[in-house]
Structure 1
Amino acid sequence: MCDLDTLEENNEFLRKSGQISRRQFNTLTAGATLAMMLPAVANAQDVVESDVMIETPDGVADCYFVHPASGKHPAVIMWPDILGLRPAFREMGKRLAQSGYSVLVVHPFYRSAPSPVVPEGASFGDPEIRNLVLPMAQALNAETHVTDARTFVAWVDQQAAVDTNRKIGTMGYCMGGPIVMRTAAALPERIGAGGSFHGGGLVTDSRDSPHLGIPTMDAHMLIAVADNDDERDPETKHALRAAFEAANVPAEVEVYEGAMHGWCVIDSTVYHEEQAERAWGRMLAIFESAL
C-alpha cells in the first residue's frame, strides 16, 4: 500500500535499475501524451467521452464516463489510486472502452475537492502531495466505499450505453483494491468480475476487513500483487487464496515478479509496461468470460 516504506522501496528500485528519475519523468509527460505510453488496442472501437456529475448520499461526484459510440455494453467501474481521477486514469478508462466496455472512472475524493486534486506529474513521494491526499483518503472507510459502490452501480445501470442484462466489472488500484472487494461483496447480484491491482489493506485484523466479504461474492476475481508488497506481507496472498477457495469464488491471486507497488498506472515512476500489460490482459480475459 502507499506509505513511506513503499516509497523508499520504490526509490531504491529506481536507483538500482537505472530507470528515469522523477524530474525526467515529469519532462516526459509534459512533452508527450499519456496515451502514447499505452500499446494500441486491437480493433479499437470509436468511443464517446463525457464528464458526469453523479448525486450521492454525501454530495455530487464528478466522474469520467466513456463508452463505445454505438450499442450497449457491459459496464466497468474503475477506482483510481490515492492520487485520484486524473489524465492517466482517463486514458486507462478510454482504453478499456475501446475494447468494448462502458466505463465509469470514479473520483473518490469528491467529498473533499473536485478532480484533479493533484497537478499532472505529481508523485506521492512529494511531501506536499502526500499531505494533500492522505487526509482525503483517510476520510473514506468501509461505509463510504459501499455507499459509493451502490450509487455508481445504480447510475451506470441507468445509462443507455450499458447492457443491464450483463453483469458489471470493477477494477481498482492501490486504495481502490479494497473498494473493489467491498463492491463485489455488497452487490453480488450485479458484480460479475473484479480486479485489485497493487491493492493495499485487503486482509486486516479489523471486523470490516475487505477479505471477510468474500463469501458473499458472486464474481471472478483477479488479485495482482506487487513484488515489494508481497515481500513485506507474504501472508496476505495465502489468506486470500484460502478465503476464495473456502467460499468457492473463482480467483487468481498472483505476485507479479519485479513489479513494484504502482506498476500498473501509466503515470507512476515504477510503471512496468510488460507486467502491466500482462495484468491488463488477464483482466480483459476475465471480463470477457464473466460479464
Structure 2
Amino acid sequence: MCDEQTNRDVDEYIDSHGDSRGISRRDFGRIGLGAALAAMLPVSARAMQVVESNVTVTTPDGKADCYFVHPASGRYPAVIMWPDIFGIRPAFREMGKRLAESGYTVLVVNPYYRTMQGQLVPDGTRLIDAELRKAVWPEARKQAGTLSPETCVTDGRAFMQFLDRQAAVDTGKKAGTMGYCMTGSYTFRLAADMPERIGAGASFHGGRLVTDKEDSPHRLVPEIQAGFLVAIAENDDERQPEAKAVLREAFDDAGVQAEVEVYEGAMHGWCPPGSMAHNPKQAERAWEKMLALFEHHLT
C-alpha cells in the first residue's frame, strides 16, 4: 500500500541505489519530460500508429476527464487504466499510448474528477521525487479519501459503457482493467462486478488486496471470470507476507487463472516511469507479463 512508510522505503532505496535505475534527475531536466519518459518505455518494433485525445466521460457523479488512445484504424479490445494515488499525469498517458500501440483501445482515467479536474501534480512535472512527493502527499491522501469501493464500481461501469460506444472498440472481445497502488484493488472490484465483460485484470503494487473486511478484494475472487496478474512490490510483501498466499489460495479455490508474484528488488511504485521508485527492468517484466495475459484472454 502507498503510505508514509512506503515513501520512506523508497527514499532509503534511492539512497542505497543512486541513479542505477537508468534515468536520473539530471536526465529529466536535461532532455525534458516527454523524451525522458519515452526513454524509459521501450517501443515495440511492431508499434501501431495511434490516435489520442482528451475526452469527458459522464458518470453518475459528474464528468470525468480522461485520456483516450487507440490504433488509427480497426477495432480492438478495450482496457481501462487506473492511475496510482498521484493521479493521471504524463507517465500514465505514455503507458496508455504504449498499450494502444500494442493493439488495444485504452482509457486512462482521472479518478479524482469529482473534486479536481486535470493533474494533481503540477503541469510540466518531470519527476515525482522526494521533495515533490512530500509536497503533494497531503492532497493525494485527501483526494484518495473521496473514493470508495462503491465509486470504483459506478465509475468503472461508466468508463466501460463509454468504451463500448466507441468505434475503435471490438465489443465482441472481452475487456481488460489494470490498476496501480490504491487502484490495484479496482481491478478485482470491476472484474467481479462485470464478469461477463472483463476478461483480464492486472494489479501492479496494489494496496489492501487482502484485508479483514467483508468486501476485501480477495473475497471477490469467486465472482471473477477473468485471468489475473498480481505483481507485488518487495517491500509490500515484507509488510504483509501472508497476502500472496491468501491471494493464490483464493484464485486456486475459485478456479481462476492467475499469476501472483513478488518482484525482487522492486519498491512500491516501481512500475510507472517518472517515479524515483521506478525499476525499469522489473517494470518491463511486469509489462510483458501483462501483455501476455491480455493476448491470451482478450484477443
Coarse TM-score class (shorter-chain normalised): over 0.9
Going from structure 1 to structure 2, the CA distance change for 1:237 and 1:89 (only over 3 Å counts) comes to same
Q: Identity over aligned residues, as a percent? A: 56
1:208 is aligned, of 190, 212, 215, to 215
> Would you say 1:267 and 2:274 are equivalent positions?
yes
Alpha-carbon distance in 1 for matches of 2:223, 2:130 = 34
Alpha-carbon distance in 2 for matches of 1:154, 1:287 = 20
Contact in 2 for aligned 1:173/1:199 (Cα 8 Å)? yes
Matched with 1:174 is: 181
Going from structure 1 to structure 2, the CA distance change for 1:25 and 1:117 (only over 3 Å counts) comes to farther
Contact in 2 for aligned 1:124/1:130 (Cα 8 Å)? no
Unaligned stretches of 5+ residues in structure 2: none
> Would you say 1:37 and 2:40 are equivalent positions?
yes
- 1:113 aligns to what SS in structure 2? coil
1:27 shift after superposition: 2.5
Matched with 1:89 is: 92
Alpha-carbon distance in 2 for matches of 1:142, 1:4 = 22
Query: TM-score scaled by structure 1?
Result: 0.96
> Would you say 1:241 and 2:248 are equivalent positions?
yes
1:40 shift after superposition: 1.4
- 2:186 aligns to what SS in structure 1? helix
Going from structure 1 to structure 2, the CA distance change for 1:137 and 1:98 (only over 3 Å counts) comes to same
2:128 is aligned, of 103, 122, 138, to 122
Matched with 2:12 is: 12
The amino acid of 1:112's aligned partner reads T
The amino acid of 1:271's aligned partner reads H
Alpha-carbon distance in 1 for matches of 2:74, 2:228 = 27
> Would you say 1:190 and 2:197 are equivalent positions?
yes
Query: For residues 56-78 of structure 1, what are the alpha-carbon distances to aligned partners after superposition, in whole Å with 9 as ceiling and x for unaligned?
Result: 01110000000000000001110
Alpha-carbon distance in 1 for matches of 2:170, 2:192 = 21
1:23 shift after superposition: 5.2
Unaligned stretches of 5+ residues in structure 1: none
1:146 shift after superposition: 0.6
The amino acid of 1:122's aligned partner reads I
Going from structure 1 to structure 2, the CA distance change for 1:144 and 1:185 (only over 3 Å counts) comes to same
Alpha-carbon distance in 2 for matches of 1:178, 1:29 = 35
- 2:278 aligns to what SS in structure 1? coil
Alpha-carbon distance in 1 for matches of 2:129, 2:12 = 16
Query: TM-score scaled by structure 2?
Result: 0.93
Contact in 2 for aligned 1:189/1:218 (Cα 8 Å)? yes
Query: Runs of at least 4 residues of structure 1 off by over 2 A?
Result: 18-33, 121-128
Match runs of 1:51-200 below 5 Å? 51-119=54-122, 120=125, 121-123=127-129, 126-200=133-207
Query: For residues 69-94 of structure 1, what are the alpha-carbon distances to aligned partners after superposition, in whole Å with 9 as ceiling and x for unaligned?
Result: 00000011100001111100000000
- 1:175 aligns to what SS in structure 2? helix
Query: For residues 172-231 of structure 1, what are the alpha-carbon distances to aligned partners after superposition, in whole Å with 9 as ceiling and x for unaligned?
Result: 110110111101110000000000000001111112111111100000000000011101
Alpha-carbon distance in 2 for matches of 1:270, 1:28 = 20
1:50 is aligned, of 34, 48, 53, to 53
Alpha-carbon distance in 2 for matches of 1:277, 1:196 = 14
Contact in 2 for aligned 1:122/1:129 (Cα 8 Å)? no
Query: For residues 244-287 of structure 1, what are the alpha-carbon distances to aligned partners after superposition, in whole Å with 9 as ceiling and x for unaligned?
Result: 01111110000000111111110110111111111100100110
1:38 shift after superposition: 1.0
How many residues are paired up? 291
Going from structure 1 to structure 2, the CA distance change for 1:25 and 1:262 (only over 3 Å counts) comes to farther
Alpha-carbon distance in 2 for matches of 1:25, 1:178 = 33
Alpha-carbon distance in 1 for matches of 2:268, 2:187 = 17
The amino acid of 1:27's aligned partner reads G
Alpha-carbon distance in 1 for matches of 2:212, 2:78 = 32
- 2:219 aligns to what SS in structure 1? helix
Alpha-carbon distance in 2 for matches of 1:65, 1:238 = 36
**What root-mean-square deviation, in Å, do the aligned CA atoms of Structure 1 and Structure 2 show?**
1.6
Going from structure 1 to structure 2, the CA distance change for 1:22 and 1:8 (only over 3 Å counts) comes to farther
